[in-house]
Amino acid sequence: MRILIRSLGELCITAGLVLLLFVTYSLWGTGRYTREQQDRLGKELMKTWQAPQVTTEKVRLGSGLAMIRIPRFGAKYRYVVIEGVDLADLRKGPGHYPGSALPGEVGNFVVSGHRTTYSAPFNRAGELRPGDKILIDTRQKQYVYQVTGKRIVSPGAVEVTAPVPFKPKDKPTKRLITLTTCNPKYSAAQRLIIFGELTGELPRRA
């Protein structure tokens, strides 16, 4: 009996260590990967913006499209928004849904991001309130969006990404932004959706 109890105890300790290593990698290891990718993509984006603009220029999948800043999350909060929402894209940072509006355009600029692992860019999305600002930097402009509301939906509720959210057949007339992330934290059972509308444009600051 003593041998059995000791063996079970050793198994529990081993299982605990394995779980600890997994959690450490999920939170720290994946975050380090994202930070490295963000640093690389940020430098590439700045280099592109400083170079002469090409009229036929198109952002490739997996490349940086814009910068997102959310003042409520602090002055240091900023991420390069990646073009694409595949798993590989979202590991680099928040991703823009291809086919949705670009920053400042009429329609719905849709951005998805992780809430826990891979630096968790949208970890605090649930704290956003109506009136909070979402700043999107592009080559020449900073687009100022204002949060208008939020909803919790099922993972299959793709209508939130329509040009007019929840009304996929309607023609858009407003310049909107939609942030999507998992809900609750550490679960993919639902989606937390943050809605916003463009309220201003400013020249992009260096």
Q: Is the pLDDT of residue 16 over 50?
A: no
pLDDT (tens digit per residue) in 93-143: 999 999 999 999 999 999 999 999 999 999 999 999 999 999 999 999 999
In which residue are the tokens 């940086």 written? 64
Sign of torsion over alpha carbons 123, 124, 128, 133: negative
Is pLDDT larger for residue 3 or for residue 15?
A: 3
Q: pTM value?
A: 0.85
pLDDT tier for residue 2 given thresholds of 50, 70 and 90: low
Q: Where are the domains of the chain?
A: 2-203
Would you state the pLDDT for residue 205?
Answer: 74
Omega within 30 of 0 (cis) for the link into 184: yes
What is the CATH architecture assignment of 2-203? Beta Barrel (2.40)
- Percentage, residues of the chain above pLDDT 70: 84
Q: Which tens digits make up the pLDDT trace of 35-77?
A: 999 999 999 999 999 998 876 668 899 999 999 999 999 999 9
Q: Number of helices (H) and strands (E), helices first, in the chain?
A: 3, 8
With vertex at residue 195, the alpha carbon angle to CA 158 and CA 174, rounded to the nearest 5 degrees, is 95
- Which segments within the chain are labelled E, that is strand? 64-69, 79-83, 95-96, 107-112, 133-137, 141-153, 175-183, 190-203
Spatial separation of the C-alpha atoms in residues 110 and 95, rounded to whole Å: 8
